[in-house]
Amino acid sequence: MKIQILTTSTLLLLAASTLAAPVQSPNLSGTWRCEPEPETCRNGSTISVTQNGTKLEMKNEKGVQAEGQVTSNISLSVGGPWNMMGEIYDGAIEWSNGTKWRKQ
């Protein structure tokens, strides 16, 4: 029976190779329109998004701004004043407040 002893540096190398890859950020920059109707879109019906890596800056046509973060390749979160989480799929973002944004 052959016994192999792993050094600390080998164990660290193995651990580092098994860590998850960094978030692949989808491109969310651009103009988005809130759906399905303006009444449900209390934050405004048109939102401009700028993106730097996983950081997002959002501004609606009323001038209200919020900062957000891409949390995975299919999810994001936005802080105050909107405070919502979203799922990205099929060219749209479905938000925790019940609205949906489509990229224009």
Tell me which residue range forms the domain holding 49. Answer: 8-103
Considering only residues 16 and 25, tell me which one the structure prediction assigns the higher pLDDT: 25
Answer yes or no: is 84 within a domain: yes
Answer yes or no: is 2 within a domain: no
Answer yes or no: is 3 within a domain: no
pTM: 0.73
Report how many domains make up the chain.
1
Rounded distance between C-alpha atoms, residue 59 and residue 25, angstroms: 20
Answer yes or no: is 75 within a domain: yes
Mean pLDDT to the nearest integer, 30-50: 82
3-state secondary structure the chain: CCCCCCCHHHHHHHHHHHCCCCCCCCCCCEEEEEECCHHHCCCCCEEEEEEECCEEEEEECCCCEEEEEEEECCEEEECCCCCEEEEEECCEEEECCCCEEEEC
Answer yes or no: is 78 within a domain: yes
Nearest to 102 by CA among 46, 91, 88, 85: 91
Residue 9 has pLDDT above 80, yes or no: no
Mean pLDDT to the nearest integer, 28-33: 96
Answer yes or no: is 68 within a domain: yes
Instruction: Give pLDDT tens digits for 54-91.
Output: 999 999 998 999 999 999 999 999 999 999 999 999 88
Answer yes or no: is 39 within a domain: yes
Answer yes or no: is 29 within a domain: yes
Q: Encoding tokens for residue 14? A: 């193995």
Mean pLDDT to the nearest integer, 33-51: 81
- According to the model, what pLDDT value does residue 39 have? 66
Q: 54: Cβ–Cβ under 8 A, 6 or more apart, which residues? A: 23, 25, 69, 70, 71
